[in-house]
Amino acid sequence: MKIIQLQLYVLICCRAAVSDQLTDLGSNVTINCDLDENEVYWILLKTPDPPTVILRSFPTSRAPFYSNKTFIKKYSVQFKHRLVINNVTDDELGIYYCMNAGATPKLSNSTRLTFTESTQVTECYNNTIECQNHTAVDQNQKQCQIIIIISGLMNGLLLIVLIGLVKVFVIGNRRSAEESQLNTDLQQTQVTEEHDLQYATMDFSKLRRNIRHSQINSTYAALNLPKS
């Protein structure tokens, strides 16, 4: 197989004549082989890949020999080595050759399989839609990331606010307790001072009564005249 590929490289490089064959996506295509040989190889060239040997065709009712089992569903052979391609897709586009299996290799005229303009436009449109879908997916992912970031920031801000409120509530309760204790102490101090003041007033009243009583006795003594 490596010898065949090497021969194909040399032969294909020396050939320039290529005929185009247009087709539609999903259609079946038949490519003729203009070599009058008993056995031929069918080769597909898709640049920059190396040539691919698809199958080896025989002149009798013998089934063709496929180089890869995956080609069985896609390629078949009709009378005079005509190659049939079923349900054409992008993977089957390229340049097709048939080559004899003799000692002296010979290549047929090449056929380039391409899509028609309408199919190309449809493909471009589909590719555009796919690109738009990918772009929409990327935009949705970016929007989700932005929403997640904003949500994280909001949750962090809310946590900070809650911590601040808890601190304010605790400090406020402490201050209220301290103010209440201070008011209680002040009230107790005022009651004590008022009690002492009343006691002092009562003592002063007694002193005044004593003073008045002594003054009355002195006056009474002055009024009592001496006996003659």
- Look-up of token digits 């002063």: 204
The CATH architecture of the domain made up of 2-115 is: Sandwich (2.60)
Question: Residue 85 and residue 31: Cα distance in Å, rounded?
Answer: 8
Side-chain-side CA neighbours of 211 within 13 Å: the count stands at 6
Give the confidence band of 123 by pLDDT, cuts at 50, 70, 90.
Answer: low
Cβ atoms of 17 and 23 within 8 Å: the answer is no
Q: What is the pLDDT of residue 140?
A: 72
Average pLDDT over residues 14-40: 86
Q: With contact defined as beta carbons under 8 Å apart, do 31 and 75 qualify?
A: no
What are the start-end ranges of the E strands in the chain?
A: 18-23, 29-31, 40-45, 52-57, 65-66, 75-77, 83-85, 94-100, 110-115
Q: What is the pLDDT of residues 74-85, one digit of tens each?
A: 999 988 899 999
CA distance 118 to 122: 6
The domain segmentation of the chain, as residue ranges, is: 2-115, 116-177
Q: Does residue 222 have a pLDDT over 70?
A: no
Residue 108 tokens read as 């047929």
pLDDT above 90: residue 94: yes
* Per-residue confidence (pLDDT) for residue 12, from 0 to 100: 58
Cα torsion through 158, 162, 168, 171, rounded to 10: -150
pLDDT tens-place string over residues 155-201: 888 889 888 888 888 787 777 777 777 777 677 766 566 655 555 45
Of 192 and 55, the structure prediction assigns the larger pLDDT to: 55
Residue with tokens 């490089």: 13
Q: Which H helix or E strand runs over 150?
A: helix 117-223
In the sheet where 110-115 sits, what is the strand order? 18-23, 110-115, 94-100, 40-45, 52-57, 65-66
**AA identity, residue 130:** E
Confidence band for 16, pLDDT divided at 50, 70 and 90: low
